[in-house]
Chain A
Amino acid sequence: MNLRKYLKVYKKFLHTSLASELEYKANILVDLITAILSLVGSIFLLSIFFQNSGYIGGWKFEQALIIQAIYTILNGITNTWFNPNLTEIVKHIREGTLDFVLLKPIDSQFFISLKKINPSGFLEIMLGFLLLFFCIRINQINLNLSFLTLSLITISCSICILYSLWFFISTTTIWFVKTWNAIEVLRSFLYIGRFPLSSFSFSLRIFFSVFIPIAFITTIPSEVFLGLSVFWKILLEIIVATIFLINSRKFWIFALKFYSSASS
């Protein structure tokens, strides 16, 4: 496990997958338009909600926009790294090419999680940051060091939780072979991350913070931005993220014991 070797390998990954993705240049343009439309659409939906009421679950429109911004950034990250790589696991297992991954003198989780990259997701990340800066202005948030560190910590925790959720589901492929649709289920659940958690009913709130911690992913970082966050919530998010990350690793190693290659 030396870091320099992994960095070097990752540089190669970047190079090859960018080269192959850039073959479809028109595609990237279409993806850019898709990302813009999707952001416009969700702001439109949000404006319908706020049409006749000033507050949704205690959040003002300008505040709820922060959630949209963070969701867009995280969705961009999902589309850049998680989606292209982790859907590939399904293919590896169906066609038996996971054998080749396991034989390589490199960590298998590292390989299958970072092999590919989809550059059109970058555009979404940038869109998200643009909206976030806009929100910082309209909500008159003053930036200082402690605020920046806290937001950085909570967002990285969100990324870890998100990655672990994706990785968990993709790992189950080893037993079930076809999990495209389980990923669709996860996607549809993640959709509620676009809205403040407090706008849902109590039972759904419990479900989305205990069973699938989607609540942590967007709501807590947004609260940090608004200065509404409480210390124990941030601490909880860090703990949840650590647990998820460690368990996703353990689960992968456990699952590999059951891997029996294709046609055997």
Chain B
Amino acid sequence: MISNLINRKIFTLLKVQYSNMLEYRVEIALWAISGIIPFFMLNIWTNNNLNESLNISDTLLSRYFLCAFFVRQFSVVWVVFSFEEDSLMGKVSPYLIQPLNPFFRYFAQHLAEQITRFPFALIIAFFFFIFNPESIWIPNLGILLLSIVSTFLSFLIQFLIQSIVACLCFWTEKASSIERLLFIPTLFLSGLLAPVVSFPAYVKSWIYLTPFPYLIDFPANLLSGNETNISGGLIMQILWIFILFPLFKKIWSEGTKKYTAMGS
């Protein structure tokens, strides 16, 4: 009965958000285009033969960056910006009265956006293959499923981190600047701009203990068929979710107690 209710709620939320997202197709297409930085990086790598010392062939490297692009497309999170706006505008108050955690709403919004984004990402990949026909490959079904799972886990980790930051809105009003700060290590350490194997040893020694390489590098390696520790990566992803989720619940319950609607 209860699970049925939750299912229905989530289904309705998804449907509403999906039709909402479909209205802004151009916007989402542009957003998909803005994620092409990995391709520029690939261009620098192959054009200067930087990958020779890493023992990664051009083909594998281009697959890696294509996969990094895909993983990034399906793990983009902006919950803190939505929540900050809603909180400043006082829209959070009506959400709080509803018998549903408002973060479910944002969660559905993100999922719906990913579904809308999917065709655009495919088109960009299609163009990528036209320019790099030698990098076409078909991952086997098991690997494909595993990488979809790990991309989703990466999305969950980022969603939880940002939700924790978003909850800081209850205290500071401008939480998005903290998010911009956290985005910097995510950008440089996650493997979006350079695969983690290429990092110098003094970084590699500690980076695998942080959540960053599991955000993009691990799922991208998995999908592109580069060498990676599959079980270890998945375990670390799940571990980070188990660490972050209670933290989010705690800060949420503290924050809602502290909440005073805008203007009071």
Contacts and interface: CB of A to CB of B under 8 A. Distances in A.
Interface of A: 24, 26-27, 30-31, 33-34, 37-38, 41-42, 44-45, 47-49, 51-53, 56-57, 176, 178, 180-182, 184-185, 187-188, 191-192, 195, 199-201, 204
Interface string B3-36: 0000000000000000000001011101101111
Contacts of B28: 181
A45 to B, nearest CB: 6
Interface of B: 24, 26-28, 30-31, 33-37, 40, 43-44, 46-50, 52-54, 172-174, 177-178, 180-181, 184-185, 187-188, 193-194, 198-200, 203
B44 A34 contact: no
Contact of B34 (A27, A56, A178, A185): A185
Contacts of A178: 24, 27
A191 B40 contact: yes
B177 A45 contact: no
B interface secondary structure, majority = helix
A41 B212 CA distance: 14
A148 B178 CA distance: 38
Nearest to B45: A49
Given A48-B199, A53-B48, A24 B174 contact: yes
A188 B198 contact: no
A188 B35 contact: yes
B200 A51 contact: yes
Chain A interface, >50% SS class: helix
Contact of A200 (B31, B35, B40, B193): B40
B174 A184 contact: no
Nearest to A26: B172
A191 B48 CA distance: 18
Contacts of B37: 188, 191
Given A31-B177, A44-B188, A51-B200, 16 more contacts: A27-B177, A30-B178, A41-B187, A44-B203, A45-B188, A48-B199, A53-B49, A53-B50, A56-B44, A56-B48, A178-B27, A181-B27, A181-B30, A182-B30, A184-B31, A204-B43
Nearest to B195: A48
A34 B24 CA distance: 31
15 contacts: A27-B177, A34-B177, A48-B194, A48-B199, A49-B44, A49-B50, A52-B52, A53-B50, A56-B48, A57-B47, A176-B26, A185-B30, A188-B33, A188-B34, A195-B44
B47 A184 contact: no
B188 A41 contact: yes
